[in-house]
Amino acid sequence: MHSVSNHAGQQVPLEQHINSQLVVRDLALQDYTTVWHAMQQFTDQRNASTPDQLWLLEHNPVFTLGQAGKEEHLLFPGDIPVVKVDRGGQVTYHGPGQLVVYVLFDLKRRNLGVRQLVTLLEQVLVSLLASYGINAYAKSDAPGVYVNDAKIASLGLRVRKGCTFHGLALNVNMDLAPFSRINPCGYAGMTMIQSNDLGGPQSIAEAKQRIVQCFMQQLNVATLQHTTGLDWQND
């Protein structure tokens, strides 16, 4: 196995060195389909030495329907577009004021299974909210994160070539009304809430900063590279 020197001059395995790095890509407000296709391209083009990335962004209003999604959970989408996508899960809503974090990880290199990654994402969210004194938790039968049986964050993933894309969505400070046009994640009557109303992160900028810290702790990441834009080939 190849090895490299770390910042302390010690020889460490190449995989361990790559796993200690994380690229954080801040994409601001984006059209859903553009970013979805970019995630697919990134995953197809990455190789064994490509550091894992987190893409942090907001989306223009959109309903997305997962691979097993049932049309019956779209109650009355109205003027909000519906996009059928290649992630797991049912239907959800994305819009301004919701922090979306796309998780572009090499699972094999990190020695993670899909269930372990879901648990890790849930723990990131739980620890983020716990730092504000909010008692959030995951449910074994309904992926996502909840507070008092109301949903504050959703999860949906796709694995291709042992690598993940899609990720999580945390409701921060948004218009929650569009959730009433669907059965969120396939659950009729599911109450959706947001951190702004619970004393948690009040803005997307605050939530971005805190969630990156939580990812660093969960992944034992030592080195962050911050960047913007979708042109990863010129990083």
Is 163 in the active site?
Answer: no
Q: Which of 185, 204, 211, 219 is catalytic?
A: 185
Instruction: Detail the residues annotated as belonging to a binding site.
Output: 87-94, 154-156, 167-169
DSSP string, 37-84: HHHHHHHHH--TTPPPEEEEEEE-SEEEE-TT--GGGB---TTS-EEE
User: Measured between alpha carbons, how far is 73 from 90 in angstroms, rounded to an integer?
Assistant: 8
For 17, 31, 63, 126, 196, the CA distances from 216, given in Å and listed in that order, are 14, 27, 30, 14, 23
Instruction: Detail the residues annotated as belonging to a binding site for substrate.
Output: 87-94, 154-156, 167-169
SS (H, E, C) 132-188: CCCCCEEECCEEEEEECCEEEEEEEEEEECCEEEEEEEEECCCCCHHHHHECHHHCC
Q: Which are the catalytic amino acids?
A: 185
